[in-house]
Copies of this chain bind each other. A is one copy, B any other.
Amino acid sequence: MAQNKEPQASADAILDKLDAFLRTKQLKLTSQRRQIVEKMLEMPRHFTADDLVDSFVGQRPRVSKATVYRTLSLLSEGEILEQHDFGEGHRLFELALGRSHHDHLCCTKCGKIIEFFSEEMENLQDKIAHKLGFHPTSHSQKIYGTCRECWREAKRD
């Protein structure tokens, strides 16, 4: 088990993968799609579609909200992004390309998200799924609670 500190994929690596994916569907790698990929790299680990839309305000050429949403869908479908729902009423996106799979701890006090990976957990999940006749393709695991810092703060009161 380890926290994940790997660097993210480069713009080039992402554009290559996106281009390859788009080709398989006879779609095009446009200027807007490139710009969105660039912006993605400047986003925090988890970001919303709206965060990305906002990053284009007052910029020329700008990219519209509709295009951002449409592109985020494509990026997810092409397995470049991953989508999460931490129960806040909106989706969060996370760059998946070049990073290995992991799960999340979510602090309900400060909103911090801690990533973790456990081989043991992965094996156990597979074992359980198979025992129930299920063929797993992916999973989402979130542990909610209080992080170290918020816990300390709570005890202080």
Number of interface residues of A (CB under 8 A): 36
Q: Is the Cβ of B147 less than 8 Å from the Cβ of A143?
A: no
Say whether A105 faces chain B, with CB atoms less than 8 Å apart. yes
Say whether A129 faces chain B, with CB atoms less than 8 Å apart. yes
Q: Is the Cβ of B141 less than 8 Å from the Cβ of A139?
A: yes
- Bound-state CA distance A138–B147 (Å) is 13
Min distance, Cβ A48 to any Cβ of chain B, angstroms: 15
Q: List the B side residues contacting A142 at CB < 8 Å.
A: 139-141
A-B contact pairs, 9 of them (CB 8 A): A105-B132, A108-B137, A118-B128, A121-B124, A125-B141, A136-B145, A138-B143, A138-B144, A140-B140
